[in-house]
Amino acid sequence: MRYVSYEEPFKNKIFTEKQMREVYRDMVNKKEYPDFDCWISDMLKSGVFETEGEWEKLKELKPCKWCGGKGKWISMPHDKDILVAIECMDCHIGTGFRKNKKEVLQLWNNKRRKVGK
Ligand SMILES: [Zn+2]
């Protein structure tokens, strides 16, 4: 299993299981996450990391519903979290910021689907 992150400082880097364990060992607060498995499951749930296969799916953004432009991921820090959204690079209409990346992707792609083609 390999993992990908969309957040700094790991943006777009691919991690092997072994490297993920090193990240956990060196950077994670062990009081918050006492073991690797609970950390990684939380990371996957919140979308900070994705498995490589899932990431490939997430990268495929549908074109903008309004203008057909390209969507891009944007992120914004909020309290302790990072919120993400997808915004059109041409008309700048976006999904609005959410914590969960998959939810944002669904919003973006579903908005598109309603138009039908
Ligand atoms: Zn657009």
* Segment 88-103, tens digit of pLDDT: 999 999 999 998 887 8
Same domain, 66 and 47: no
Q: Which residue has the higher pLDDT, 11 or 28?
A: 28
Residue 33 is part of which domain span? 2-54
Q: Give the Å distance between the CA of 108 and the centre of ligand 1.
A: 11
User: Helices marked H in the chain — which ranges?
Assistant: 17-27, 36-46, 52-59, 101-115
| pLDDT for the residue 56 | 76
Same domain, 39 and 75: no
Q: Give the Å distance between the CA of 97 and the centre of ligand 1.
A: 17
Q: Give the Å distance between the CA of 94 and the centre of ligand 1.
A: 8
Same domain, 65 and 108: yes
Q: Confirm if 108 and 89 have CB atoms less than 8 A apart.
A: no
Same domain, 6 and 22: yes
Same domain, 66 and 50: no
Q: Which helix (H) or strand (E) holds 2?
A: strand 2-5
Q: Give the Å distance between the CA of 65 and the centre of ligand 1.
A: 7
Q: Confirm if 75 and 95 have CB atoms less than 8 A apart.
A: no
Same domain, 67 and 49: no
Same domain, 47 and 88: no
| pLDDT for the residue 113 | 46
Same domain, 70 and 103: yes
The CA distances from residue 107 to 55, 57, 103, in Å, are: 17, 15, 6
Same domain, 50 and 65: no
Report the number of distinct structural domains present in the chain. Answer: 2
Query: pLDDT of 46-86, one tens digit each?
Result: 778 888 887 777 777 889 989 999 999 888 888 877 888 99
Q: Give the Å distance between the CA of 18 and the centre of ligand 1.
A: 40
